[in-house]
Structure 1
Amino acid sequence: MDAFIEGALDVVWSDWLVWLCLGAGLWFTLRSGLIQITGLPNMIRSIVRGGSSADGISPFQALTMSLSGRVGAGNIAGVAGAIAVGGPGAVLWMWVVALLGAATSFIESTLAQIYKERDPRTGEYRGGPAFYFERAYRHTWARIPLTIYAWCFAMASVVALGIFLPGIQTSTMATAVTNAVPAIDKWMVGVVLALVLGTIIIGGVKRIAAFTARVVPIMAAFYLLVAIVVVLFNITEIPDMVRLIVSSAFGVHSAFGGMLGVAISYGVQRGIYSNEAGQGTGPHAAAATEVSHPAKQGLVQAFAVYIDTLIVCSATAFLILSTGMYRVFGEAESLVSFGGYADGLGFEAEPGMDVEYTQAALDSSLQGAGAILLAVALTFFAFSTVVYYYYMAETNLTYAIRRVKNQTFQRAALAALQVMILIVVFYGAMGAGGQAWSIGDIGVGLMAWLNIVGILILQGPAFKALRDYRKQLKAGRDPQFDPREVGIRNAEFWERRADGALPGEPDPQRETAARR
């Protein structure tokens, strides 16, 4: 089984996917006119000024929801793993994929807003890759193949988000907790997680959004504060650390000269797992938002990539590298470089023991407290990620079975998903999955393949919306969206909203014209 998993991982995460992610991000960056840089002021404005409605959450809530999925074990254990396998240079490639990925995130999230719809069962907004794959060209000959493609993405997402990925989060969390407090057994962590998760996910998207809006900003600020304190303790090491990252990223460092390809591959792989740009997860939260123009939420989700990778992941990397608490391993798990990993920490460093590297980095400066502080931070990181995984899995399952008229079957399918993810959460906390990261990477890779290829085909409407958004801003207006004015078809939600048939943010210009 291990050989099968590793073989599947090599196929999914071949060099083709690495260059697809980087190439798509570069293309969207150039075509959008560097939207991830030029759009920064409007990103902040959209987050601060946006409101919610009875059916849709606010842009800030959507930001925290998507961050709850992005900021998790990948930001702590994943960064340590990237350094352990790809060397310190993998960090720079994580930054590159974040910068380019912000443009990709803008495109996929704008598409999700354009083609969102209201769930007939709950009244909540739903959307995502499966929805825009089906709807974008529904009026053309491509309707049937794109519908099949959408269904394939939906089912791949249900499996990846409901089965493959939650175990990584809970396994990493349970490891951190039991390392910090040996008196706690992993099964105890699993039981508590399953009980709390069950009470949240049954409440629907509103309860999920309320939970993440409260938890994510606090946990991120807490972790960043602790990381800054430790880095300041080792501030004299920062210049050497930066030189180490840059030199090893391009294969010119003496110890890591032969690792250029591994640094790029693993940096991109872990970067996408962490910030999820192009993976197709961010659009689910983007679609649930109440905004006056799709581009507004596209900008918010682009900013989420920055927070995840350029801030949180960088904090972890600086923690580990500035304290020297890392090792780099070769393909055969042989030691390539000893990075100053301290002795006497109570365990022997091995590939895959990623969270312990970060705990050791904290303990090096906050002796006795580092492991506990990280366990607390990781508990919130990982748990909020699992909550968001469930929301996305539910959204895609709802899409996959929505043509089934039997409501009893629909309720049973959703209940089965809830039971499944609770089992996976408990099982993952028990540490039963030795190949958890590899299985999770397969799920991430499948979603990325399907989504990036899809948005490269369907990118047109997103750029039409961007041009319309910029045109209205230039005219001094708060952008309001009517898809018919820019030649976008099949966006029925926005057509009805523009006609006044749906509630939403007021459009002063349209109201003034109507009174005249």
Structure 2
Amino acid sequence: MFDIIINFLNQLDSVMYYPILIIVMAIAGLYFTTKTRGVQIRLFGESIRILLEPPDEENAVSSLQAMLVSTASRVGTGNIIGVSTAICLGGPGACFWMWLMCIIGASSAFIESTLAQIFKRKDHEGHFYGGPAYYIEHGLHKHKLAILFCIFLIATYAVGFNLLCSYNLQSTFMDYSFYHPTTTPIIIGLVLALFTGYCLLGGGKRIVKITGTVVPLMGLSYVAICLIVILFNIQNVPAMFLLIFQDAFDFQSILGGVAGSCMVYGIKRGLYSNEAGVGSAPNASASANVSHPAKQGLAQTLSVYIDTLLLCTATALMCLSTGVTRNAAVSGAPYVQSAISTVFGTAGPIFITVAMVLFAFTTLIGNLYYVDNALIFLNNKKKPSENFMKVFHLACAFIVFVGAIIPMDAAWAMADITMGGMTLINLPVCVLLSKFAIDCMKDYEKQKKQGIKPVFKASSIGMNEEELECWI
């Protein structure tokens, strides 16, 4: 019975990404890139400058802080396990397709985050909030579609991503001598579920704060470690890049089995990692207090680059430069641990395990930031009761336990399907509302050319101010 369910999920996953999602993502990304004249590349320097600006009001959320929240959610187990899985199952060419979709997808990140800023709301304490549900409701006037998006968001971040995050974490222990395929996942799942439940129920605020500080340092350390491994294998780098491009353009092989090709794996794992166009980051983007919506759109393009072009690439190049064996049997953590051990010996896999524990924990907790936003929307813009949240958080902790004991195929398929549902709602909506974001970008550039600090007024691009709470 369980095998039938897994086969169904895998088939649904394959059809959803090829041909449906690949076509939707490519068309939307190319459309946004064309209409914005490559804003994600053309204004790259401006996106860096914006992050250094302080918020307009004291104690308000800055562009940098909002970008770090979304980056913290993006950076996680996908940067290590996801990339390894793509290379082992799809081939080295997955790296190229991951890079290409990152650059194209960054334009989608600009549009969705700019829209989130335009249609954001303000609570009674003066804090901003918003996201796709709000620009769907107030921009398209499709309340039921906004509800459907929230349901998919909850399914993605409370179920799909947390199942996968838990599986990815326990898989890092597979290479240790004490690992037993039956009992070890159960023990790890129980410990992780108890720890997650404790923090969600309010007992681990200090732990969350500490890990929130440690994880960025671990991310930088991880990139440094990857760079050291690459430098030790510098003689293999030219052949490595040749292998990546040869495999990426081996269309005979790709067309022979598209669903399992490097192209599809690169796009799927890249989307899982950077989430460009998925509709998650706009929830964080809406909270920023900026003088112009385009600023947050530009900040989010940088977040996509950090995730994919820096962290995912670090994993890919480290593994491929070592030349260690890659196949389905070692996909995931074992492939990365095998690569890093060529230089650091037994200390390498231990470092990966520690990094995964930290990345997984903050991802599990961070995912529920987006879920809370969706629950509030579904509850008529009010926070759900404490009793409901306790039951919900206990259910989330149980999902974490289940994730540790399910097969790899089931974990990836659930994450892909739920994320795909979000994307198939969000990207078409962004296309329909893109004129607002594009006009907003033009207004920003116009004011910059005039030598003044860009300040946005909805009337300057002909928007109906009755639809908005801000920018009036």
The residue number in structure 1 matching 2:108 is 104
Amino acid at match of 1:86: G
Distance across 2 between alignment mates of 1:421 and 1:202: 11
CA contact (8 A) 2:193 2:397 kept: yes
For 1:470, which of 445, 448, 452 is the aligned residue?
445
* Alignment correspondent of 1:396: 374
Answering whether residue 134 of structure 2 is matched by residue 131 of structure 1, we say yes
Relative to its length, the structure with more helix (as a share) is 2
Q: Measure how far apart 1:189 and its partner are.
A: 4.0
Report the equivalent of 1:150. Answer: 146
Aligned residues: 462
Q: Alpha-carbon deviation of 1:211?
A: 6.3
Q: 373, 386, 391: which one pairs with 2:351?
A: 373
Q: Distance in 1 between matches of 2:294 and 2:388?
A: 34
Q: Structure 1 residue 133: deviation in Å?
A: 0.5
Residues 68-120 of structure 1 deviation map (CA, whole Å, 9 limit, x = unaligned): 22111211111111112221111100000000011110000111111111345
| TM-score, normalising length: structure 1 | 0.83
Rounded to whole Å, the distance in 1 between the matches of 2:315 and 2:226 is 7
* Alpha-carbon separation, structure 1, partners of 2:211 and 2:294: 23
For the residues of structure 2 that align with 1:64 and 1:177, how far apart are their CA atoms?
A: 29
Q: CA deviation at 1:10?
A: 2.7
Please say if residues 251 and 260 of structure 1, whose CA atoms lie closer than 8 Å, have aligned partners that are also in contact. no
Shift of 1:175: 2.2
* Aligned equivalent of 2:392, options 413, 417, 422: 417
The answer (yes or no) to whether the contact 1:52–1:289 under 8 Å persists in 2 is no
Q: Choose the corresponding residue for 2:433, options 428, 452, 458.
A: 458
Range that drifts further, 437-446 or 236-245:
437-446
Structure 2 counterpart of 1:182, from 178, 182, 197: 178
CA 1:202 to 1:125, structure 2 compared with 1: closer, same or farther past 3 Å? farther
Counterpart Cα distance in 2 of 1:53 and 1:386: 31
Is the CA contact 2:10–2:413 (under 8 Å) kept in the aligned structure 1?
Answer: yes
Contact 2:208–2:362 at 8 Å: present in 1 too?
Answer: no
Displacement after TM superposition at 1:272 (Å): 0.6
The equivalent of 1:359 in structure 2 is: 337
Tell me the equivalent position of 1:226.
Answer: 225
- Within the candidate set 57, 72, 76, 2:80 is matched to 76
Checking the alignment, whether the CA contact within 8 Å between 2:98 and 2:266 is kept in structure 1 is yes
**Which amino acid is 1:444 matched to?**
M
* Paired position in structure 2 for 1:267: 266
Contact 2:319–2:336 (8 Å) recurs in 1: yes
Which range is displaced more, 51-60 or 147-156?
A: 51-60
Task: Give the AA of the match of 1:422.
Answer: A
Q: Which amino acid letter does the alignment assign opposite residue 357 of structure 1? A: Y
Identify which of structures 1 and 2 has the higher relative contact order when contacts are C-alpha pairs closer than 8 Å and 6+ apart: 2
Cα root mean square deviation, aligned = 2.8
- The answer to whether the 8 Å contact 1:61/1:210 transfers is no
Q: Structure 2 vs 1, CA of residues 125 and 201 (structure 1 numbering), >3 Å: closer, same or farther?
A: farther
State the percentage of identical aligned residues.
35
State the 1:365 CA deviation.
1.5
1:321 equivalent in structure 2: 320
Q: Which moved more, 1:375-384 or 1:174-183?
A: 174-183
Instruction: Give the TM-score of the pair, scaled to structure 2.
Output: 0.90
Cα deviation for residue 209 of structure 1 reads: 9.7
2:41 counterpart residue number: 37
Unmatched segments (≥5 aa) in structure 2: none
Following TM superposition, by how much is the alpha carbon of 1:377 offset from its aligned partner in structure 2, in angstroms?
1.4
TM-superposition CA deviations, 1:481-500 (whole Å, max 9, x none): 211222223553323xx5xx
Per-residue deviation, 1:237:
0.3
Secondary structure (helix, strand or coil) at the match of 1:155 reads: helix
The 1-side partners of 2:318 and 2:56 are apart by 37
Counterpart-to-counterpart distance in 2, 1:215 and 1:457: 40
Which residue of 2 is the match for residue 346 of structure 1?
none
Return the letter of the residue paired with 2:470. Answer: W
SS at match of 2:469: helix
Can you list the C-alpha shifts for 1:121-168, whole angstroms capped at 9, x where unaligned? x7642211111111114xxxxx2xx11111100111111111111011
Is the contact between residue 112 and residue 286 of structure 1 (CA under 8 Å) also seen in structure 2?
A: yes
Contact 1:64–1:216 (8 Å) recurs in 2? no
User: Which residue is 1:290 aligned to?
Assistant: 289
8 A contact 1:158–1:393 mirrored in 2: yes
| Distance in 1 separating the partners of 2:222 and 2:51 | 22
Supply the distance in 2 between the matched residues of 1:422 and 1:54 (Cα, whole angstroms).
36
Distance 1:309 1:75 in 2: 8
The answer (yes or no) to whether the contact 1:359–1:374 under 8 Å persists in 2 is: yes
